[in-house]
Amino acid sequence: MKQILYFLCLVLVAEGIHELKATDVPTHSAGGVATNSWHGFRQHKFSVDGRDCLLVLPSAPAAGKPWIWRTEFFGVEPQADLALLTNGWQVAYMNVQNMYGAPMALDHMDRFYEYLTNQLQLTPRAVLEGFSRGGLFALNWAARHPDRVACLYLDAPVCDFKSWPAGWGKSKGSAHDWVRCKSVYGLNDELARTYKLNPVDNLAPLAQAKIPILSVCGDADTTVPMAENTLLLQTRYEKLGGEIKLITKPGADHHPHSLRDPKPIVDFILQHLTRN
């Protein structure tokens, strides 16, 4: 720990960055810490449970140390993340790529959550941010731990692996991703067709916990078609009494993600941060 702090001090002196507080620095349960800058904000790189992790710190943390958890594609269309950072939020990411929200990925995510909330004392209710396949991670982890989630921001999310990467509907899917997806879930095609824990099939825990969902989608998405993902999620979630808001981008395909002006996203998140 002393060596880590000494190293960080040398970096800060060399770069002229203001002094770190001890509570800002990941401690001994994480791997060695490296510090750099991300869009002008201080970024820590470290490891938890053998996975590479990132934590971006605001200039001044907001009360309660709120945070948003990008589950995939860190840094892609970061408009909402940057807006929240300016409001004192922290942005977290754990690399669980190519695990498609499978239970083994959720186990790693559990360790990351415990580290951030127990040792760094971030607020117990995270906001989960699922871009594309990141929707599988965000929705599955929320269903596992609805008491740890304030709300969900999903962006062109995969909500059913039978749509993508399997490609059993309107999506062309991804053959190599489907092979990896079946492997991490321990499934073959026959078992995958009847799998009951895809997000669209496992919404009751979220609805019972009254977790609000925001989904931003292009209505011409050919990679992750709305009809097989967000619209199916919306229909089933509302039937269970869940709250879901949909922002549709007319004529937009899968890319680009997010909104040029992230205010509607940020407003939704801030509105639901302090829910009981």
Q: DSSP assignment of 153-166, as one string?
A: EEES----TTTTTT
Per-residue pLDDT for 2 more than 80? no
Q: Which residues, 6 or more positions from 234, have their beta carbon under 8 angstroms from its beta carbon?
A: 215, 244, 246
pTM of the predicted model over 0.85:
yes
Pair of tokens at residue 112: 């990351």
- Weakest-pLDDT range from 8-17, 161-170, 199-208, 263-272: 8-17
pLDDT class of 274 with cuts at 50, 70, 90: low
Domains of the chain: 47-272 (3.40.50.1820)
3 state DSSP class of 263:
helix
- Helices and strands: H and E segment counts in the chain: 9, 9
Beta-carbon neighbour count of residue 144 at 10 Å?
17
Pair of tokens at residue 207: 């609805």
